[in-house]
Chains A and B, each alone.
Chain A
């Protein structure tokens, strides 16, 4: 029983294909994530890595193959999708905070209206989350008044407020100034250590080395290579992986 729980497969992707008009963006992705795993996906731009994780909460629809999240297959059934989305948190490259709402309102909105959490309770857990990401003093400000790093931490808190089972990160640090990247990565590393299942599209190899269980190298819509961070960094098998790693690690 315990063994089964430990190895529970929470995301199963089988032969996932996606086209944008005639452009074949994903060409048969097979990938399985177990509960509590931290997966890092990297690869050149246009390789389909963002498209792939956006398929997992159906911000993009896959057109062939099968995606099963937490035992529910993603189909066009709207109720299924909304159920999945409230179990899967997502953090975007551009933060996408709601600019007309305060930090607190940003975090409380979904729990209050989707989960129907009572206001006091939603408020309390929002404040706890803000403490966890280190910016409780910003609760009543508007996103526009915060730095990029602070905004991204609010975005993480907002996603966590729904108590998701899975967190997706779509290049969470790519839009940040260098001095702010660390504060966001620290929050993500903490989160990984609590046992959250995470799929992270990123080029922050330090983060991958620190917490990733497995890494996937995407190129041209396919998984070129996968393995533990050690395998990927020490002995990459594919030429393309070597080349790409040398390019992003060289500076």
Chain B
């Protein structure tokens, strides 16, 4: 018998074939398509007209720096740029070392760099140079990461571990270093503060969440009851309450002679404590999904409980719950707007402050549309990056 080998049937593709097949296959289908198009046009026309002609976009242009960094001293802008360059560098390095896993985030960073450079050019601002530098650094470190021998992964991990404290130090400054003067946190604001709250909140919460998740499954009753109690307590109260408590109560728990940390740090602690409870439940979901055979195989090889967790269980559990972890990440990103309630000038609050400026009265629509786009854009970027990460780690494939 001869083997039968056939090509899969060819399907017609291309935009015109698609249009013909889906929108204009029969006369009434075509009529429906045209009717819907007309309806869309009629409905959206006022919105489009407003966007292009009536809207006073000047409010965004004039306050762009305020939206981005709040009251951060303008003569200290180089620190922000340095933080962005370091971020670009770390993303590039991760891309070079981990390839597909970090590629999504690298593409986003590159795309954002180019987009912001173009916007800078359009607005006649010279920030476009800075954004191109950021992209150049990203590509340079990507190349460096690719040729880095063996130890690349440890270097990149260490880099990320150092990145967050370093950036916090860079932005906050310290009295100890003359050229890095302190910038009081009440001056931090805008997108800068929003992103800092998001990133510190999430990355601080993940290790704590993992510990709580393990604690909840512990055989030791005290550890288990503490974990369950903590998670249920935090999940049972609104975030706003926790932010108030963090702001008001943290100073009480410190010795009298210790200067209490300022509001931003307190709010960050509040976010970490809050997010940890949710991340703990996400991680627990992952732990539940691991087959008992994995524990047994590790035990049978003589691996201790800690080694089993680190090398066998957690990598699989975390990989399984990447969607849930990023879901919480994005959720917290938007929840940072609640920090306004305890007096922080994050992005949304800056928007309200801008609206209070006398020359821009009545520009609500412009400002909120802009904020909408910023929040949405970042959420999409996180989603895209996480989906790429998921694909690269092969969730559901192996």
Q: Indicate whether A and B interact.
A: yes
Please state if B316 and A99 are interface contacts (CB–CB under 8 Å). yes
- Point out the residues of chain B lying under 8 angstroms from A158, CB to CB: 301
Q: Is B391 an interface residue (CB 8 A)?
A: no
CA–CA, A98 and B312, complex, Å: 7
Q: Is B68 an interface residue (CB 8 A)?
A: no
Please state if B294 and A96 are interface contacts (CB–CB under 8 Å). yes
Please state if A159 and B311 are interface contacts (CB–CB under 8 Å). no
Scan residues 278-317 of chain B and give those whose CB is less than 8 A from a CB of chain A.
291, 293-294, 296-304, 307, 311-312, 315-316
Q: Give the nearest-CB partner of A145 in chain B.
A: B398
CA–CA, A97 and B302, complex, Å: 15
**Nearest-Cβ distance from residue B314 to partner chain A, whole angstroms:** 10
**Nearest-Cβ distance from residue B279 to partner chain A, whole angstroms:** 20
Q: Is A248 an interface residue (CB 8 A)?
A: no
Please state if B301 and A110 are interface contacts (CB–CB under 8 Å). yes
Q: Is B79 an interface residue (CB 8 A)?
A: no
Total B residues in contact with A, Cβ cutoff 8 Å: 20
Q: Decide yes or no: A100 and B315 within 8 Å by CB, A142-B398, A144-B397 being known contacts.
A: yes
Q: Tell me whether chain B's interface is mostly helix, strand or loop, or mixed.
A: helix
Of the candidates B294, B302, B312, B315, which one forms a contact with A86 in the assembled complex, judged by CB atoms under 8 Å apart? Answer: B302
CA–CA, A159 and B301, complex, Å: 7
Q: Is A244 an interface residue (CB 8 A)?
A: no
**Nearest-Cβ distance from residue A47 to partner chain B, whole angstroms:** 20
Please state if B302 and A82 are interface contacts (CB–CB under 8 Å). yes
Q: Which of A57, A83, A97, A98 has the most CB of B within 10 A?
A: A98
Q: Is A113 an interface residue (CB 8 A)?
A: yes
Q: Give the nearest-CB partner of B305 in chain A.
A: A78
CA–CA, A202 and B294, complex, Å: 22
Q: Decide yes or no: A85 and B302 within 8 Å by CB, A96-B293, A99-B316, A100-B316 being known contacts.
A: yes
Q: Is B319 an interface residue (CB 8 A)?
A: yes
Please state if A110 and B312 are interface contacts (CB–CB under 8 Å). no
Scan residues 73-121 of chain A and give those whose CB is less than 8 A from a CB of chain B.
82-83, 85-86, 88-90, 92, 94, 96-100, 109-110, 113-114
CA–CA, A1 and B66, complex, Å: 88
Please state if A85 and B299 are interface contacts (CB–CB under 8 Å). yes
Total A residues in contact with B, Cβ cutoff 8 Å: 28
**Nearest-Cβ distance from residue B100 to partner chain A, whole angstroms:** 15
Q: Decide yes or no: A96 and B315 within 8 Å by CB, A144-B398, A145-B398 being known contacts.
A: no
Q: Is A162 an interface residue (CB 8 A)?
A: yes
Please state if A86 and B296 are interface contacts (CB–CB under 8 Å). no
Q: Which of A89, A90, A96, A97 has the most CB of B within 10 A?
A: A96
- Point out the residues of chain A lying under 8 angstroms from B296, CB to CB: 59, 90, 92, 96
**Nearest-Cβ distance from residue A212 to partner chain B, whole angstroms:** 22
Q: Give the nearest-CB partner of A83 in chain B.
A: B302
- Point out the residues of chain B lying under 8 angstroms from A86, CB to CB: 301-302
Q: Decide yes or no: A59 and B316 within 8 Å by CB, A99-B398, A143-B398 being known contacts.
A: no
CA–CA, A89 and B397, complex, Å: 29
- Point out the residues of chain A lying under 8 angstroms from B299, CB to CB: 57, 59, 85
Q: Give the nearest-CB partner of B307 in chain A.
A: A113
- Point out the residues of chain B lying under 8 angstroms from A114, CB to CB: 301-304, 307
Please state if A94 and B316 are interface contacts (CB–CB under 8 Å). no
Of the candidates B300, B304, B315, which one forms a contact with A159 in the assembled complex, judged by CB atoms under 8 Å apart? Answer: B300
CA–CA, A88 and B301, complex, Å: 8
Scan residues 303-341 of chain B and give those whose CB is less than 8 A from a CB of chain A.
303-304, 307, 311-312, 315-316, 319
- Point out the residues of chain A lying under 8 angstroms from B293, CB to CB: 92, 94, 96
**Binary contact track A39-63/B, C-beta < 8 Å → 1, others 0:** 0000000000000000001010000
Please state if B307 and A97 are interface contacts (CB–CB under 8 Å). no
CA–CA, A144 and B398, complex, Å: 5
Please state if B302 and A162 are interface contacts (CB–CB under 8 Å). yes
CA–CA, A110 and B300, complex, Å: 10
Q: Give the nearest-CB partner of B293 in chain A.
A: A96
- Point out the residues of chain B lying under 8 angstroms from A144, CB to CB: 397-398
CA–CA, A97 and B316, complex, Å: 12
- Point out the residues of chain B lying under 8 angstroms from A162, CB to CB: 301-302
- Point out the residues of chain B lying under 8 angstroms from A57, CB to CB: 299-300
24 examples of A-B residue contacts, CB within 8 angstroms: A59-B296, A59-B299, A82-B304, A85-B302, A86-B302, A89-B301, A92-B293, A92-B296, A92-B300, A96-B293, A96-B294, A96-B296, A96-B297, A97-B297, A98-B294, A98-B297, A98-B316, A114-B301, A142-B398, A144-B397, A145-B398, A155-B297, A158-B301, A162-B301
Q: Add 5 more A-B contacts to A85-B301, A114-B301, A114-B307 (CB < 8 A).
A: A89-B301, A92-B300, A94-B293, A109-B301, A109-B303
| B interface residue numbers (CB < 8 A to A) | 291, 293-294, 296-304, 307, 311-312, 315-316, 319, 397-398
Interchain residue pairs A-B with the least CB separation, the first 3: A86-B302, A144-B398, A96-B297
